[in-house]
Amino acid sequence: MNIQILGTGCAKCNELYEKVKKIVEETNPTATVTKVEDIMEIMKFGVMTTPAIVIDGTIISQGSIPKESEIINWLSKNGKTDLKELVKQSYNDLALASDDKQKCCCNPLAPAAPSKKVYTIMSEDYSQLKGYEPDADLGVGCGLPTQYARIQKGNTVVDLGSGAGNDCFIAREETGETGKVIGIEFAPQMLIKARANAAKRGFTNIEFLEGDIEDMPLPDKTADVVVSNCVLNLLPQKDKIFHEIYRVLKPGGHFCISDVVLNGFFPKEFTNNAAMYAGCIASAIQQDEYLSEIEKANFTEIKVERTKTVEIPDELLREQLDEDLLAKFKAGNVGIYSITVTGKRASE
């Protein structure tokens, strides 16, 4: 295992290097740990913030010093990254990099605007919608779920994978002062950003909860409407998620979800690519299978409201794939789509 610590020589960079080196000596002495301090070399990795951890060529962490337990977890998988944890870290990193204030000695590469890399190629234009807050739009959605969610004044709306709060603020405009919006998010830095966005606008009927949407921190029959934007496909237990959505919906309530689905199959090497996984692409499942999971959760009136073809530029693919794998991908002729789907929990 080859571990590289990227940093420009600041105190946090050195602290991370020493921390990782100590853990490696205790848990995985065959691994190598090296520093990369030259800024031109660091830029070749495509990181947005430093310090960063790269394991066998895969960016694992950026912009912070992870907990010891997290580092041990990464090192204990024989070089295999826990993809769910990688997704969490990717969105933590995006939250950090989207903030101008993060530019400092430990974060010299952070852009002032969201990175337009793999997880932003499907983003939609929210700017014309009522309730739009630019600070909350990090460009990582693949649809406009609130557009088809039929939110009414006074509704309780739950947003799964709420990020910096973009869809929550749109939903708040529609449910009004008498309604309530609850965002559920598992990336701590996103939660910090979302709560700050709500606080500085004085919103009192929006709440952001830290939690896993496979096991939501909500009681039964909480929501009139559940929305989500390009999140469910990132997680492995889609069947469990749809059953959870059913559980938290009130009888007669409904959901509206935008997500990425496939028609055809990727090469195995592509689905194992961590960056493509974090970007909502390699983790997507077949559209028929996706809709079948919704049916199994006992939803009725299931409808695909909108379908949009997703085109991945060759330039982006070449950042993550070698020429042989790129040729395999193109030969497979896989259709990638962003869909917005609705469904209803039957009334009692």
CA distances from 89 to 30, 81, 116, 213 (A): 25, 11, 17, 16
d(CA 228, CA 226): 7
How do strand 2-6 and strand 52-55 relate by DSSP bridges? antiparallel
Instruction: Let me know if residue 23 belongs to a domain.
Output: yes
Give pLDDT, residue 105: 31
Angstrom distance (rounded) from CA 226 to CA 248: 9
Residue 147 lies in a domain: yes
Same domain, yes or no: 157 and 280 = yes
User: Is the Cβ–Cβ distance between 304 and 341 less than 8 Å?
Assistant: yes
Gap between the Cα atoms of 266 and 279, Å rounded? 15
Region 327-342: mean pLDDT is 83
Question: Tokens in use for 154?
Answer: 């006074």
Please report which helix (H) or strand (E) contains residue 156, including its range. Answer: strand 156-160
- Does residue 217 sit within a domain? yes
219 vs 137: CA distance, rounded Å? 29
- Residue 206 one-letter amino acid: I
Domain that holds residue 139: 118-344
Residue 13 covered by a domain: yes
10 in active site:
yes
Residue with the larger pLDDT of the pair 55 and 291: 291
Same domain? 286 vs 174? yes
Residues 151 and 268 in one domain: yes
Q: What is the mean pLDDT of residues 43-60?
A: 79
Same domain, 182 and 312: yes
Q: Is the pLDDT of residue 278 over 50?
A: no
Residues β-bridged to residue 309: 337
Q: Give the domain CATH number at 35.
A: 3.40.30.10
Domain match, 57 and 192 both: no
Residues 30 and 152 in one domain: no
Domain end (from 74, 102, 130):
102
Mean pLDDT for all residues in the chain: 81
Query: Which tens digit of pLDDT belongs to each residue from 75-86?
Result: 765 444 555 666
Which residues are 344's β-sheet partners? 254, 300
Q: Domain check: are 215 and 314 in the same one?
A: yes
Q: How confident is the model over 222-274, as pLDDT tens digits?
A: 999 999 998 887 777 788 999 999 999 999 999 999 998 988 876 665 655 54
Domain termination site, one of 47, 76, 102? 102
CA distances from 283 to 44, 51, 119 (A): 25, 27, 12
pLDDT (0 to 100) of residue 277: 46
Instruction: Identify whether the C-beta of residue 242 lies closer than 8 Å to the C-beta of residue 296.
Output: yes
Q: What is the pLDDT of residue 182?
A: 98
Q: Which of 13, 106, 142, 230 is catalytic?
A: 13
Distance CA 311, CA 323 (A): 18
Instruction: Let me know: does 165 contact 183? Beta carbons within 8 Å.
Output: yes
159/188 same-domain check: yes
CATH number, domain of 214, equals 3.40.50.150
In this structure, the answer to whether residues 81 and 194 fall within a common structural domain is no
The dihedral built from the CA positions of residue 276, 125, 212 and 250, taken in this order, carries a sign that is: negative
Tokens standing for 345? 């929990």
As a whole number of angstroms, the distance between CA 50 and CA 66 comes to: 12
Whether pLDDT at 289 is above 50 = yes
Statement to judge: residues 134 and 47 lie in one domain: no
Query: What is the number of domains present in the chain?
Result: 2
Residue found by looking up tokens 């006074």 in the block: 154
Q: Final residue of a domain: which of 102, 136, 168?
A: 102
| Report field, pTM of the whole predicted structure over 0.95 | no
pLDDT at 127: 74
233 in any annotated domain: yes
Asked if residue 143 belongs to a domain, the reply is: yes
Task: Tell whether 178 is covered by a domain.
Answer: yes
Residue 104 annotated to the active site: no
Q: What is the pLDDT of residues 92-116, one digit of tens each?
A: 666 566 554 333 333 333 333 333 4
The DSSP code for 346 is P
Is there a single domain that holds both residue 173 and residue 52?
A: no
What pLDDT is recorded for position 94? Answer: 62
Alpha carbon 289 to its chain's center? 21
**236 and 327 both lie in a single domain:** yes
Residues 51, 45: contact at Cβ < 8 Å? Answer: no
In a domain, 225, yes or no: yes
Which percentage of the chain shows pLDDT scores above 70? 79
Among candidates 208, 185, 204, which has minimal Cα distance to 195? 208
